[in-house]
Amino acid sequence: MKIHIVYAGRNYPLSQQMPSALDLPAGASLAAALAALTSLLEPDTALPASCLVAVSGTHAGTVGRCVDRPLRDGDELLLIAPVAGG
């Protein structure tokens, strides 16, 4: 199944080296998707623990504290590195 990935906030540099979609086995979970993304990062880098995670419009926590859930084909995985500019 195909999962669309959207990077926002301070994740722009990340988005330039990461795919905009993932092909995962049917029934794969959110944790599997995040693990697949992490495996694509350069060595010694990781998605920020505070990075917000949402699946098709529903908040799922952060990369550091995420409630795992099954994904469906066509889901949009949104990764927002928190912003605080005032």
Partner 1 sequence: MPEIDLSAANTLSPHELARYARQIGPGVLTIEGQARLKAARVLVTRAGGVGGPAAQALVMAGVGRVVLAHGGALHTADLNRQVLGGEDLVGQGRAVPFARRLQKLNRFVTVEAIDHEPDQQEALRLAREVDLILSCAPTFAERLCLNRAAVAAGVPLIDAAQWGLTATLMVLVPGHTACLRCVYPEDPPFEESFPVLGAISAAVGSLAALEAIKLLSGCGEVLAGRLWLIDAYQGRNTQVQLQARADCPECGAAPPARATDTANPVGT
Which parts of this chain interact with partner 1 (CB under 8 A)? 6, 8-10, 12, 48-50, 52, 54, 57-62, 64-65, 67, 78, 80-86
Give one word for 18, left, alpha or beta, with left for phi > 0 and alpha for psi -120 to 50: beta
CB nearer to partner 1: give 45 or 50: 50
Cα maximum dimension of the chain? 42
Closer by beta carbon to partner 1, 26 or else 84:
84
Q: Which is nearer to partner 1, 16 or 26 (CB)?
A: 16
In which element (H, E) is residue 81 found?
Answer: strand 76-81
Distance of closest approach, residue 33 Cβ to partner 1, in angstroms: 17
CA 54 → CA 1, 42, 43, 44, distances in Å?
18, 23, 25, 25
Shortest distance (Å) from residue 8 CB to partner 1 = 5
Minimal distance, residue 40 CB to partner 1, in Å: 20
Q: At 42, give phi and psi (nearest 5°).
A: -65, 155
